[in-house]
């Protein structure tokens, strides 16, 4: 897999904090998000009303992958993901993308599909491909 790192707002000369969050990344990945199943690990987030967000909680605590539609339900209440690894699985249970929040400082999007990475790079102004590849 190849990776793109996104730092919109947190880069030198930026606002000092990220100007986007999980909803914008999932939107950049497109319709495939809703038709995939998602697992989540290491999730730490804050919500606008300081309440749990059911779709995020289910993905992080059930031990089962949840549909993208369940993951994104209520995501409008999300204020910020601080840490978390979100893994997207296709209909054959293969991972097609990993979306990772790193300490409120940046996001990583991993994929084998260049069109996924291209869509992310087009959506965000401060994104950089990393030559590192994971097996």
Show pLDDT as tens, one digit a residue, over the chain (135 residues).
999 999 987 777 777 788 999 999 999 999 999 999 999 999 999 999 999 999 999 999 988 899 999 998 889 899 999 999 999 999 999 999 999 999 999 999 999 999 999 999 999 988 887 765 544
Measured CA angle at 5 (ends 23, 21), to 5 deg: 20
**Where is 72: in which H helix or E strand?**
helix 68-72
Q: Token pair of 79, please?
A: 């204020």
Q: What are phi and psi of 75, to 5 degrees?
A: -70, -15
Spell out a b/e string for 79-109, using b for 16 or more CB atoms within 10 Å of the CB, else e.
eebeebbbbbbeeeeeebbbbbbeebebbbb
3-state secondary structure of 30: helix
């Amino acid at each position: 897999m190849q990776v793109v790192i996104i730092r919109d707002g947190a880069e030198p000369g930026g606002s000092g904090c990220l100007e986007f969050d999980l909803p914008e990344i999932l939107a950049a990945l497109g319709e495939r998000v809703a038709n995939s199943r998602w697992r989540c690990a290491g999730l730490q987030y804050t919500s606008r009303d300081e309440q749990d967000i059911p779709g995020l909680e289910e993905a992080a605590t059930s031990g089962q992958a949840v549909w993208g539609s369940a993951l994104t339900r209520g995501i409008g209440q999300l204020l910020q993901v601080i840490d978390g690894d979100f893994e997207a699985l296709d209909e054959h249970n293969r991972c097609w993308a990993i979306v990772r929040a790193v300490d409120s400082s940046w996001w990583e999007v991993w994929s084998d599909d260049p069109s996924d990475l291209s869509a992310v790079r087009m959506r965000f102004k401060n994104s950089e491909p990393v030559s590192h590849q994971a097996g």
